[in-house]
Every structure is written in structure tokens, then in C-alpha cells.
Amino acid sequence: MNIEPVLPQLLCSCGSLFFAVVAAVFLVVLIRSARQRQRLQTTLANIPLQSVAALRPGPGLVRLKGVIAQVPEPVPPLLDIAVVRVAIKTGRPGEEDRQQMDRVQVRPFLLDDGTGTVWVDPTGLDRFLLGEGVTPEDADRAAALQAVGLPPALDGPVQVWALRVGQEVTVVGTVQQRGDQTVIAKAKGQPLVVAPGDIPDIAVQTRRQSTGAWVGVGLLGLLILCLLSVAGITLIRVLATLLGS
């Protein structure tokens, strides 16, 4: 049986199957991301607001709303910054060396809600719930890049998210006892949210992210269906040609 005449079709079928498998991997990742966003949205909506004065260490999540009162060791060279996230795309569109980098630097800060103060360790926070990013001017741009360990002269569009002293934030995490100090921090398997504004603002972000992920799921699902259809039709034609010969 000579397969040389149908070899291009056979390769096309195999290629379609390969790309369908690759797309399926991304599909699984997107489905997981969408479900995580939905679970987080539900979780945040069901956590009652507490006061610092009523905090007690425990495994459950608590929600606080207050002002960043103090950052003993701000992210250098920025002043009074507790959290900074920088996203940058280097290189020009279409170039092989074009990269997208997303980095975060955090520092413990003191949260004041009017009933008392508590330390917050933002290590491991959800970086996608920091509000709306801004495009900084030249001097601020260089400082932000330096703050996350990137060269200040790095070329490319930059977006920056920052939480600073005096800013009102919502904090969702677990209450932990570290020595003689009570700290809000991330526990294993639990979210940690430090976000500007209140729960409705955070809900808008999580809903938008969840919707975007499900749209991606739909598009990838359609792509996989098309690839499998191409692979199947091509394989049937190959078999028909081979059997007919």
C-alpha cells in the first residue's frame, strides 16, 4: 500500500490533532481560571465586614476596610508604597524577542480602620485585584521599573498599580499570630486580597475577569472543534483513497 500520494493529507490530519491537543491544554487552564474567579467572587460577597478591635486568630477568612497608615520599609526607590505591580511589554510588535513581564513587590503595612490597627503582610496577594493601572510619566516610570528589579531604561509600554500610605483598601485574609503580633496574611489554600475600594469594586473586577476567561473558553472550544473536524475529514479522505487504491 503506497501512502506517498496521501502523505500531505495525513500530515495535515496529524497536525490538526496536535494543535487540538495544545488548544485543549489551554482550555483546561482557562476553565480553571474562570472557576477560580467565580469562587473568589462568591467567597468575597459572603464574608461580613469586621473591625480590627474584634479580630481573633483563626483559620477562617476575615474582611477589613481601612486606611494604609504606615509602611515602615516602603518599596525603594518609591516612597510610602506598600504594593507595586508593573507590567511591561518589551520590544516591538512582531519581533521575536518581544516579551511581556509582570512583576510585583510588596511590603508589610499597618492598616487602621478607626477601631484599631493591625499589620498586613501582602505576600502572595491576588495581583489582578489592584484596581485600574496607570501609565506613568518618565520619572515615575523609571522608579517603578527599578522598584520591581527591572532596568529603569527598559523600553516598552508600562502599566503600574500601586497602593500607598493614606489610601483606603479592603483586605481579605486570615488572622495569624506571629510571636506577639497579630497579622493579616495569606494561608495555604486561601485567597489574600488587598484591593482599593470596597467589595462592589472588587466584584466588578472579578466578574470582568471571569467573563473574559469564559469567552476565551468558548473561542478555544470552537477552535478545537474545527481542528478535530479538519483532522477527521482529512483522515476519512486518506482512508478512502488508500482503500480505493
Give me the helix-helix angle, 199-244 and 7-45, nearest 10°: 160
Among residues 113, 49, 36, 104, the alpha carbon closest in space to that of 75 is found at 104
Cα–Cα distance measured from residue 21 to residue 218, given in angstroms and rounded to the nearest whole number: 16
The pTM for the full model equals: 0.76
- Predicted pLDDT at 124: 94
Which residues are paired to 112 by β-bridges? 67, 117
- Predicted pLDDT at 91: 63
Which own/partner pairs from 101-107 qualify as long-range (CB within 8 Å, at least 24 positions apart)? 101/150, 102/127, 103/148, 103/149, 103/150, 104/148, 105/75, 105/147, 105/148, 105/149, 106/75, 106/82, 107/71, 107/72, 107/73, 107/74, 107/75, 107/81, 107/82, 107/83
Over the stretch 133-168, which tens digit does the pLDDT of each residue have? 899 888 888 999 999 999 888 888 899 999 999 999
- Predicted pLDDT at 217: 86
- Predicted pLDDT at 6: 63
pLDDT truncated to tens, each residue of the chain (245 aa)?
556 666 777 787 788 888 888 888 888 888 888 888 888 888 888 899 999 999 988 888 999 999 999 999 988 888 899 999 999 987 665 555 557 889 999 999 999 999 999 999 999 999 999 988 899 888 888 999 999 999 888 888 899 999 999 999 999 999 999 888 999 999 888 899 999 988 888 888 888 878 888 888 888 888 888 888 888 888 887 777 767 66
Q: Amino acid identity, residue 43? A: T
Report residue 167 CA to chain centroid gap: 22
Domains annotated for the chain, with CATH where assigned, are: 4-244 (2.40.50.140)
